[in-house]
Structure 1
Amino acid sequence: MATQPRQQESCSEAEWTARQELAACYRIFDMMGWSESIYNHITLRVPGEEAFLINPYGLLWSEVTASNLVKIDSQGNKLCASPWPVNKAGFTQHGLFHGALDWAHAIVHTHTPDAMAVCSSADGLTPTNFYACFFAGNVAYHDFEGITVRAEEGERLLRNLGDKRVLMLRNHGPVVLGETLYEMFFNYYMLQRACEIQVKTCALGRPVTVPPEVVAVHQRDRDEVALKDFGRADFEAWVRKLDRMDTSWRE
């Protein structure tokens, strides 16, 4: 993704690139209708640091820019000058995953209606559509314990996540983790699609379940069409569309 040369004097080139990519991600999510007022979070680890970037608490996702993202540590301490607070529920959950999982560089948690509906259903995500089949066997679940602001819930979140990269918080919403922002973005895109289609299919009647042996073939053949640097081409395509509408996120 092309970046502007202008950057904050107080941050490195690597951090500024991360800031621009994360700001773009917030704007794309908002453009897709996946934002929730001033709530929910997408976080990105600052390259080479034990710190991550998060949205300012009080701004809509459509107002997020590279420079107003807040840099914090896993305890929620601000590591940059910012007039904006940080949502405790955001750094409690995201700080836990960033701190405990060295591969989890990018994390998103949303409250989209369809994803929340699937999280609130007894069967969760089912292999009943093209997108959902990619996630069969690769989704973890965590029972609802209220707003995630208590550190002691962290042990159970990590245990329930296990080796998965999608954690469905029951009666709440999904958490998607990735080694890169691009991976997280594209997996979330497919998960959101899977949930939307499942909700619509269930409204029509009894869904058709795909047999396990077909799911296995479907997942195997995904590698035949996947591009290198998983999700990057998709993310950059949406950035181009975003730039045709508004470039203020780069500031």
Structure 2
Amino acid sequence: MQTTMQTATSTDSTSSVHHNMSEQEWQMRVNLAACYRMIASYGWDDLVFTHISARVPGTEDEFLINPYGMLFEEITASSLVKVNKAGEKVSPSEFDVNPAGFIIHSAVHEARDDAHCVIHLHTNDGVAVSAQEKGLLPISQQSLFPLSNLAYHDYEGVALNPEEKVRLVADLGDAHFMILRNHGLLTCADTVANAFLYMYIMQRACEIQIKAQSGGGALTPIPAQILAGIQAASEQVTRGANGDIAWPALLRKLRRTDPSFEE
């Protein structure tokens, strides 16, 4: 009886949230919740201390972000919190947010009209590469994609200073991949699917680099002329669909394993 009552309450809450917004916002919530779940499934989360944010469709200054204190594997479409560019709640929610954690995200969203989704992670391999003087090395096929569009931002301490936002976006420019030195990885894109694919590729490149370096032998760099042609090759590999080439399959996998992200 208790399980039945809990399920009914969850369903009622989801229905209430869904009916109080546009279908476009709800679909963004579903995709963003799915992204949180995928990050958790790959083991790339850091308890509750990183964020993925998305602009609410049809708005310039409203964003969705995770409830502070929830694990990525717990996040659902209806539990995501709508905030303004200061990280303050703009619609009723039983959940709190971490305004300090939104500083990096709000900086990118404000500066880039195309940055509808921003992912920032503290993975072990990502932080390890970010601590290396030469950063990401052109030693794998995976590394070429971020290297063709990669920016760096020097560490300024825990991201609590709003003044850092100006320097961060200046460093980012029009790139979609960024390494935050001594800190972690960041991607931004026009869709959740693209931002996730960018992070997946950059994270894999970092994992490969750390493994290659652990072998102790000399590494073979990829020739510069190959790096120069990688963007055109990327379009061919994904048939111009970018993240959408894999996203539907990832959603199908999530729905098979745990469809609760859509609640």
- Bin for the TM-score computed over the shorter chain: over 0.9
Out of 217, 225, 228, the residue aligned to residue 229 of structure 2 is: 217
The DSSP-based 3-state class of the residue aligned with 1:37 is coil
Q: Give the aligned residue type for 2:139.
A: T
- After the TM superposition, list the runs of 4 or more consecutive aligned residues in structure 1 that deviate by more than 6 angstroms: none
User: 1:180 — aligned with what?
Assistant: 191
1:11-160 matches, within 5 Å, as 11-49=21-59, 50-160=61-171
The DSSP-based 3-state class of the residue aligned with 2:158 is coil
Tell me the distance in 2 between the aligned counterparts of 1:249 and 1:92: 26
Q: 1:83: how far off?
A: 2.2
Q: 1:164: how far off?
A: 1.1
Which structure: larger Rg?
A: 2
Tell me the distance in 2 between the aligned counterparts of 1:157 and 1:63: 30
Tell me the distance in 2 between the aligned counterparts of 1:88 and 1:244: 34
Does residue 212 of structure 2 align to residue 201 of structure 1? yes
TM-score by length of 1: 0.94
User: 1:191 — aligned with what?
Assistant: 202
Spell out, residue by residue over 1:85-134, the C-alpha distance to the aligned partner (whole angstroms, 9 max, x if none): 21233211111211221111000000110011111111100111011012
Q: 1:75: how far off?
A: 1.0
Question: RMSD of the TM alignment (CA)?
Answer: 1.6
Distance 1:245 1:142, change over 3 A: same
Q: Give the aligned residue type for 2:75.
A: V
User: 2:182 — aligned with what?
Assistant: 171
Alpha carbons 2:148, 2:231 under 8 Å: kept? no
- Structure with more of its chain in helix, by fraction: 2
Out of 222, 234, 252, the residue aligned to residue 240 of structure 1 is: 252
The DSSP-based 3-state class of the residue aligned with 1:80 is coil
Q: 1:62: how far off?
A: 0.5
Q: Give the aligned residue type for 1:220.
A: A
Alpha carbons 1:89, 1:147 under 8 Å: kept? no
The DSSP-based 3-state class of the residue aligned with 1:168 is strand
Spell out, residue by residue over 1:166-204, the C-alpha distance to the aligned partner (whole angstroms, 9 max, x if none): 121100001101011111111111101100000100111
Q: 1:137: how far off?
A: 4.0
Gap regions ≥5 residues in structure 2: 1-10
Distance 1:137 1:217, change over 3 A: closer
How many residue pairs are counted as aligned between the two chains?
A: 248
Percent of paired sites with the same residue: 41
The DSSP-based 3-state class of the residue aligned with 1:8 is helix
Q: 1:216: how far off?
A: 2.2
Q: 1:84: how far off?
A: 1.9
Gap regions ≥5 residues in structure 1: none
The DSSP-based 3-state class of the residue aligned with 1:81 is coil
Q: Give the aligned residue type for 2:226.
A: V
